[in-house]
Amino acid sequence: MEITASYINSLAPNIAAIKAAKDLSKKAKFSNSFQSLDLSCIFSDCLGSSGTYFTSVDFIDALNPIFRCNCPSRQFPCKHGLGLLYLFEEVKRFPVKEIPLEIIEKRKKIENKNNKIIEVKNNFTKKDNLKKINLKKDTVKENKKIQKQIEGVELAEKILFSILSKGLKSIDAQSRRLISQQAQRLGDYYINGIQNKFQNFLLLFNINNFTEDFEEIIISMLELNQLVKQAKKYLNTKILNENPLRDINSDIEEQIGHIWKLEELKQYSLVKDKSKLLQLNFLTYSDYSKSEFVDEGIWIDVENGEIFKTKVYRPFRAINYVKSDDTVFELVQVSDLAIYPGKGNRRIRWLKADKYDPINNFDFITKFANNNFEEFLNKFKDDIKNPINENKRVGIFNNIKLFQDLNNNRYLKDTKGLILRLEDFSWYGTTTTDYLRFISDKEMEGLIVCLLISYNHSMNIFMAKPLSIVYPNKILRLQF
Amino acid sequence: MIENLLKEIKKELIRILFAGSVLAKNDFKLKELLNELEKIKENTALQKLHQYISLLITIDQTEENLMNALTLCNAILIIQSTIDPNITNIENTFDGITNKIDIGPLESKYQAKQLVPLINSLTERRTGRYNVAKLILDNKYYDDYRIKINVVYCLDDSYRDISTLMFDIISRYDYKILPLLKDTLIDKSTNGNIYRIQLISKIGGEQENNYMENITDNFKSTELILESIKALAKNQSGKKVISSKYLNHKNKKVKEIVDELLKESKPFGFLTKFFKK
């Protein structure tokens, strides 16, 4: 595998690590650097702040190199491993030496572990029928959990109704503290999703405090009320079933607070074999109600054109220890693609990509693009009627024209003449409409645009934010 | 008409949401709106809304009805929203967009992990940004259009070291940045604008004489006028313009600087002072 600077950058947890690693390689902190004969491993000593560390990068799995280092850093991969890669990228070759025993032993351990996983997988696929899964022993446990959830939802409803009866205007600092304390108790009832919605609602109060547009508070209230209402109905129906199965036609489980595990998604046949995906947009934003960063990628399945999203959650407190997601320019091949239940752009996840292929031809996207806004919006309208469904959806549109009015509002027109107003949603990253000024007139004709569409409740119109523009030979990203 | 009525109803329901649902009973405004709704309840959704509002103003425990009515009202408004330009009354439009700027082919080849800290260092106003922004100079991220644009905007940064750094970056990689520099130049005496004039003069040279002349003629900021005159004085044709146009400029400061510049530019100009005496 070719090791390039951009490849090493993509492995780094953050830009500080890149800088520190480059410094290490520049300042000649590495000594006794070697590579194995088959180039599957490079290893070296590195002079660090508390002694000399032995660091190695193992390419036994070429796509997922294993970094090993005996330094005390909790960051993974540490700067020493990355520094060694930068050094290797610069000198291209180290003297050849046998792989140390220590590494061989660790390789064996991994091999044994992988064998076990394959064995379990094979056993599992033999009985790969949902009905055959032994759910009985979990049923009692699950029913207890649902009962607890119902109690939690009823408590949430009480809190909500007490707010409603007194009115939003009555919420002062003291009552906000009280509601926050009550909302914290909801965490004991396995309904973290509802708890987060409460926190988000209170957060909006702190930010807006009725001085600005309070539309957001109203929407948040509607969302919370509907979620409590639907959760109550859903859980009461679920508990009546002998084998309480999760609803996979909507994301109600996730909204209540369930965290889907990959194995569980497999059980519900929500894992797709062999997919090819291309990233159209990437963004990191903060979710203050959950105190975490969210890395969100927008992807298109190159076989059927469905648009998905990936989400990596990084709590503020663990920011240095959780690897962030990043922009991917290559075509990604995945053998097990887990698709989360839900509507619109469903969430996807995979453990390990099989292949990253460079791509230069993006013509295929045209055939998946919508030719007008109407059809897309009708479906979207139908979903967001229910306030718990996300008021944002990404779509690709073909043959789009850009125009403007005298008030400098910019619009997009489709082939039918229908229009969407452009807007930089401040809740979704940096400005992108301003970048349209830099696109030449030639490139403007018959645009293929990837748009994020959202309904503006106060203006009663749909608005769009351009995320990227698709050309035959490149994708121009307006965000990241 | 329905849309306006629904908006009115929504507004009133929101008012009750803020005031408290206990006050909804016998609300006279809602009663009025209910009567209007009575006349046009043409589909099931409107009938259902009518039912919720009727319950809201008649019974005591109204929290659920209030939220049901608001949710339904909102849902009907979403369904009725349109993107037809004939209905939405968008007027005075024209194809394309104004203020278009050609800064060459746009490239977006860097990853978020590399770009985000750099763009944050250019757009935020926190401390500790200088060392991050310096990476642009070291690693040539400047060829990415998102960095290029923000570097120009950052000439106005109140942190002087950063704005000077941006000046250095642009001087180093000039590319096709002139139109953007011109676009962001406004008639205001700030370091950022002075840097812009200096950069335009440096990158464009003699070809930008007309632009400098334009600034001198139309701008009000004396500092920017002085800077553009200094820029003109850097080449022979510019000097000619200065001597023909600005020798008797009404602004005293401008006149002084013109005199000084012309003296310096004349061969043996330093002797003029001596001979005058």
Per-residue pLDDT, A183? 83
User: B4 CB near a chain A CB, below 8 Å?
Assistant: no
CB contact under 8 A, A225 and B99: no
* CATH number belonging to the domain at A270-359, selected among 2.40.160, 1.10.20, 1.10.10, 2.40.50: 2.40.50
Which has the higher per-residue pLDDT, B176 or A130? B176
Centre a 10 Å sphere on the Cβ of residue A452 and count the other Cβ atoms it contains. 23
Nearest-neighbour CA in chain B from A36: distance (Å): 31
- DSSP calls for B105-138: S----S-HHHHHHHHHHHH---SS-HHHHHHHHH
Average pLDDT over every residue of B122-145: 78
Chain A residues in contact with B3 (beta carbon < 8 A): 460
**Per-residue b/e over B143-181, b at no fewer than 16 CB within 10 Å?**
ebbbbbbbbbebbbbeeeebbebbbebbeeeeeebbebb
Inspect the interface and report whether the beta carbons of A167 and B3 lie closer than 8 Å: no
In the structure, what pLDDT confidence band is assigned to residue B268 with cuts at 50, 70 and 90? very low
In this complex, do A404 and B14 lie within 8 Å of one another by their Cβ atoms? Answer: no
pLDDT for B271: 47
Q: What local confidence, expressed as pLDDT, does residue A307 receive?
A: 93
Residue B73 in any domain: the answer is: yes
The whole domain housing B78 covers 2-87
Closest CA to A86 of A24, A13, A16: A24
Q: Which residue has the higher pLDDT, B173 or B34?
A: B34
The CA distance from A73 to A469, in Å, is: 41
pLDDT at B86: 61
Cis amide leading into A65 (omega within 30): no
DSSP B233-258: TTSHHHHHHIIIIITT-SSHHHHHHH
Residue recorded with tokens 């040279």? B205
CA angle B42/B43/B47 to nearest 5° reads 90
User: In this structure, are residues A298 and A279 in contact, taking their beta carbons and an 8 Å threshold?
Assistant: yes
Residue B1 CB-half CA count within 13 A: 7
User: In the CATH hierarchy, which top-level class contains the domain A367-477?
Assistant: mainly beta
Contact A459, B123 (CB under 8 A): no
Q: Give tens-digit pLDDT for B196-244.
A: 888 888 888 888 888 888 888 888 888 888 888 888 777 777 777 777 7
Pair of tokens at residue B209: 């004489």
Contacts of A404 in chain B (CB under 8 A): 93-94, 96-98
Is residue B103, in this structure, part of any structural domain at all?
Answer: no
Partner-chain contact B106 A439, CB within 8 Å: yes
Name the pLDDT band for B277 (thresholds 50, 70, 90). Answer: very low
Interchain contact, B97 vs A218, CB within 8 Å:
no
For residue A449, the distance in angstroms to the closest alpha carbon of chain B comes to: 15
Distance of CA A263 to the CA centre of its chain: 18
| DSSP letter, residue B142 | G
Q: Is residue B46 part of a domain?
A: yes
Nearest to B79 among A14, A15, A381 (CB): A381
pLDDT at A210: 53
A residues 384-403 closer than 8 Å to B (CB): 384-387, 401-403
Burial class (CB within 10 angstroms; exposed 0-12, middle 13-18, buried 19+) of A263: exposed
pLDDT digits 0-9 by tens, A294-309 = 999 999 999 888 999 9
d(CA A338, CA B222): 64
Distance separating alpha carbons of residues B19 and A391, to the nearest angstrom: 27
The count of structural domains within chain B is 1
DSSP codes joined into one string, A328-360? --SEEEEEEEEE-S-SSS-EEE-S-EEEEE---
How high is the pLDDT of residue A128?
Answer: 54
Interface of A with B in 402-461 (CB under 8 A): 402-406, 408, 410-411, 413, 417-420, 430, 435-441, 444, 455, 457, 460-461
| Residues A370, A397 contacting (CB under 8 angstroms) | yes
Between chains, do B84 and A411 touch, taking CB under 8 Å as contact?
no
Determine how many CB atoms are found less than 10 A away from the CB of residue B3.
14
The tally of CA atoms less than 13 A away on the side-chain side of residue A106 is 15
Q: Chain A: nearest CA to B44, how far in angstroms?
A: 15
For B2-27, what is the mean pLDDT? 83
Query: What is the spatial distance between Cα B227 and Cα B256, in angstroms, rounded to a whole number?
Result: 13
Check if the interface score ipTM surpasses 0.85: no
List of chain B residues whose C-beta atoms are within 8 Å of the C-beta of residue A430: 119, 123
For residues A333, A3, A478 and A439, what is the CA-based torsion angle, rounded to 10 degrees?
-110
* pLDDT at position B176: 74
Per-residue pLDDT of chain A (480 residues; tens, 9 = 90+): 677 777 787 788 777 788 888 888 888 888 888 888 888 889 999 888 888 899 999 888 777 788 888 888 878 888 898 898 888 888 888 888 888 888 888 888 888 888 887 777 666 555 555 544 555 556 777 788 888 889 889 888 888 888 888 888 887 888 888 888 888 888 888 888 888 888 888 888 766 555 555 788 888 889 999 999 999 888 888 888 777 778 888 888 888 888 888 888 888 888 888 889 999 999 988 888 788 889 999 999 998 889 999 999 888 888 877 888 888 888 888 888 899 998 889 999 988 888 788 888 888 888 888 888 888 999 999 999 889 888 899 999 988 888 888 777 888 888 888 888 888 888 888 888 888 888 877 777 778 899 999 998 888 888 999 999 888 888 889 888
State the smallest CA–CA distance between residue B8 and chain A in angstroms. 12
Calculated CA dihedral for residues A24, A26, A27, A33, nearest 10 degrees: 70
Q: What residue ranges do the domains of chain A occupy?
A: 5-101, 136-238, 270-359, 367-477
- Same CATH topology for A270-359 and A367-477: the answer is yes
A vs B: CB pairs below 8 A? 167
Rg of chain A in Å (alpha carbons): 26
Q: Is B124 on the interface with A (CB under 8 A)?
A: no
AA letter at A324: S
Chain A residue numbers touching B119 (CB-CB < 8 A): 430
The single-letter code of the amino acid at B256 is E
pLDDT, tens digit (0-9, with 9 covering 90-100), for B146-165: 888 888 888 888 888 888 88
Report yes or no on B70 lying in a domain.
Answer: yes
Average pLDDT, chain B: 78
